[in-house]
Structure 1
Amino acid sequence: MIQIFSRRRRILIVLVSATVIFLIFQLFSFKVLNLSQRLQHSENDARKDIALDLEPIEDSENKLNDEHVPLEDEEMKWKTGLLLPHGVLPSQSRFYMPDKDNFFQCLYNKERIPFSQVNDDFCDCEDSSDEPGTAACPNSTFYCTFQLQNKIPKPLPPSRVNDGICDCCDGSDEWISARVPEWIINLGLYGPGGVFYKLGQSCFDFKSGEYEYSICPFKNVKQRKFPSAWISLGIRPVWTFMNQGVYILEMMDGDSSLCPEHVQRSTSITFICGLSDRVLQVSEDDKCKYTVQFSTPAAC
């Protein structure tokens, strides 16, 4: 009896142990399966998220294309920044958009005028803000379309807009193609179409080392070493080369003192296309022979 009881006990222990092992195995298998399913769900969710992320890109491109479809409408062009009033910087575009009623709000006194009155050559806003591209308002400022990057934009006074003479290197200040006054053209002295006329009404100071220079194109070029008196480096203008982008003006018949064989001094001014009127460099390449590098929109 003792042996039978002992054998049954061992069998029972074996069965219980097998049952426990089976249950543990089943529990482990369930956890693995659950983890696998969770990973699969996560992967599917991730794919869905990627798909959702990708779909708006394609849709946004289509929407952009859709939005660009009605660009025949002028108001839409203003609002998308594709069209700006003449004389306005792109950074100011938000101030020059029509409102829902197609009105323009003056920038400072907040007056409202029909948008069609912007740049119509009549000053409607007391603050001059409605005429950035014409000479109608006394206090307006015109900005050339082309500006150097990372530089402070340079404005033009309104009197120089549409006067027939280019002040912007891109010609954007002459957007109505105004004709140069006939009397200026009849002068040939100021280049083709009189484009250098305004330049000829100004003088420019420049210092190089111990020397000072006064350069008045078409009138005279002078040099001095302070406190000595000015010496003439040329008073008679003669064109020696003309081509769009580069023009060379020779200023002849300067002072001859201390020059070899009393040859009169002369200065060659090379005008190159640039954003503003300014002297870039002055040098004496030979005894009593001077050269000036000059940047100006007139050469453009």
Structure 2
Amino acid sequence: MPFFLWKRPRIIVLAVIAAGIFMTFQFFSLEALFYAQKRVAVKSYSSRNENEREEKLVKEFNYEDVVTANLKESNDIKHLLKTPRGVHKDDKHLYTVVRKDDNEMFRCVKSGRLIPYSWINDDYCDCEDSSDEPGTSACPNGRFYCTLQLPDQKAVSLPSSGVNDGICDCCDGSDEWAGRAPPKSMRHQGKNIVLQAPCQNHCDTIAKISKENEQIRKMGQRLKRSYLLAAQSLRDREVYGPEGVFYKLSLNCFSHQVHPYEYKVCPFQKVTQEQFPSQQWSLGRKAAWKQKSHGQFLLEMSGGDAVNCPGRGRQSLILFLCGITDRVVELREDQRCEYLIKFATPAAC
């Protein structure tokens, strides 16, 4: 057989195989192209849906929540989140940013002078009314309000000169925000002293005590009625306080021991001190009101024994406090021959 006749079928077979490979390549190319276009379309659709979802979220956007959650450290909106240190929450509106020529300004509360908002609490007094330094001691007539205020109580504040002076005036310690302890020469030692920086937050303890005191006050006010009834027949009731409310106490004596002494407190009659088996000393036998207004009742018992007391006789001050029973809470000698007696009674509620 001639060579070219044998070779032709072979060429035809190779051509068919090549055509098959070409068609397969074309098929997969078109499939890949279709898949790529489908991915683009799906991505575009997802992106469009995502944009629509974001637009919906923007419309439902709660500015306050997002600010609080995510932007607390942003210098641009700090004034939206936090009242300047030393400002009471009721005065927060006085520290709203004033816009002037794209600048954030603060308007001095009384004078109306505009200063850069960043000058608030920068430890330099710029406003004549001291309103730009509520949280520092820079201004002479400023007023600092504690950051945490207890509910249902009068707002606690202090002169700006007391800020960062080493003494904890606020129960949350916010007036000593620098945390600097006072110099060693000014530090107090011992018990029953003022709290000093660095301060601890003890507002919860005070709130608990205040709540308990309020319960005692309400109960004491109910018990107080019997004290008022006991004085109704008196001619000169005011001798025993408002409407003679403390008269009932004058009919009794109350014992109190402070080792090694035993005391007897007989309001309006006498106060004595005894150390067995030695003699008894009078700490006061003449009663006179030192104060009986604005909810504070302080009775002075003078004319006590003068032995070992330079220049005058012993005397006692009885401070009546609201309580649900009649009792001596504390008795101490504050100064030589001068005694302070804290006396709890419903009559003072």
TM-score (norm 1): 0.46
Specify which structure has the bigger relative contact order, considering alpha-carbon pairs within 8 angstroms and separated by 6 or more residues.
1
